[in-house]
Structure 1
Amino acid sequence: MGRILGIDHGDVRIGIAMSDETAFLASPLTTVLNGKAAADEIAALVQEHNVETIVIGLPLNMDGSAGPATEKVRRFSKKLASKTDVPIVESDERLTTVTAHYNLREAGLDGKKRKGVVDMAAAQVILQDWLDAQP
């Protein structure tokens, strides 16, 4: 298995995480501003790091149903798919941002410092959860 890229799609920033070469461990990579060039920037990261799969967090409602945020992510996923031939898989991201905030707080980051890295940390949680679920 090669590198896997994880995405936490937000309204302002998109958090990006990357697996190691063995697809065992996820690490935060960067954030991308959510704008017109976001899909192109992520496609460039995919090519630069020889990514073979993209995992995008799907923000489902707590009851598992899809809502407006789910549709927004799916539209972005389609746009990204038009920029790369790497497969994109959806992964349930319920409570990943809460988990990321908790992990960062436990690591001693205060509110202002957490704000700058929480998107990457949430992408890391999404990706690590997906990696852990693979056989």
Structure 2
Amino acid sequence: MSSKNFLALDVGERRIGLAMADSQVKIAVPFGWLENSEKIIQEITELVLRHDIDVIVVGYPRNQSGEPTKQTQFVEDFVKQFADIELDTEIVFQDESLTSVQAEQRLGNKIKDKGEIDAEAASIILQDFLEEKYENS
């Protein structure tokens, strides 16, 4: 089976945390963050093309009861912006419950920029996805 490349997005109103992995190694690595601006879809598209991404994994926010929130709608609307772009890339959602809290705990006192939390959260989202979908492959 050929290797697949993954890009995870932790979508926020100010920043988008990024992480990458491939299906051979199955270890998600933080890949920085981008400011959420009017050029964000173009910037992500360029990353997808440059890194030959097969699957974009988007963190899907829900409340503690598992129900959608205002942020859930924001993320769904964000993803809809990719509909008009011709990419041969699958977009999937992955539960992101408590990933920002986990990211802060992992980073501890080493946080220099809030974007680091977003990138770490994206790596947790992607690692969860890989463990659920590619555990025994």
Q: TM-score, normalised by structure 2?
A: 0.89
Query: 1:23–1:131: 8 Å Cα contact kept in structure 2?
Result: no
Tell me the secondary structure at the aligned position of residue 91 of structure 1.
Answer: strand
Tell me the matched-pair count. 131
2:41 touches 2:82 (CA, 8 Å); kept in 1? yes
Give, in angstroms, the shift of residue 115 of structure 1: 2.1
Q: Which residue of 2 aligns with 1:64?
A: 66
Letter in 2 for 1:124: S
Where in structure 2 are there 5+ consecutive unaligned residues?
none
Identify which of 6, 9, 13 aligns with 1:7: 9
Percent identity over the alignment?
A: 37
Displaced runs of 4 or more, over 2 A = 80-85
Gaps of 5+ in 1: none
The corresponding residue for 1:92 is 95
The 3-state SS of whatever aligns with 1:4 is strand
Which protein is richer in helix relative to its size? Answer: 1
Q: CA deviation at 1:23?
A: 5.2
After TM superposition, give the deviation of residue 81 of structure 1 in Å: 3.6
Select which of 44, 61, 76 maps to 2:78: 76
Separation in 1, partners of 2:68, 2:89: 24
Match of 1:109 in 2: 110
- The verdict on how the C-alpha distance between 1:56 and 1:116 changes in structure 2, with shifts beyond 3 A counting, is closer
Kindly provide the amino acid, as one letter, of the partner of residue 102 in structure 2. T
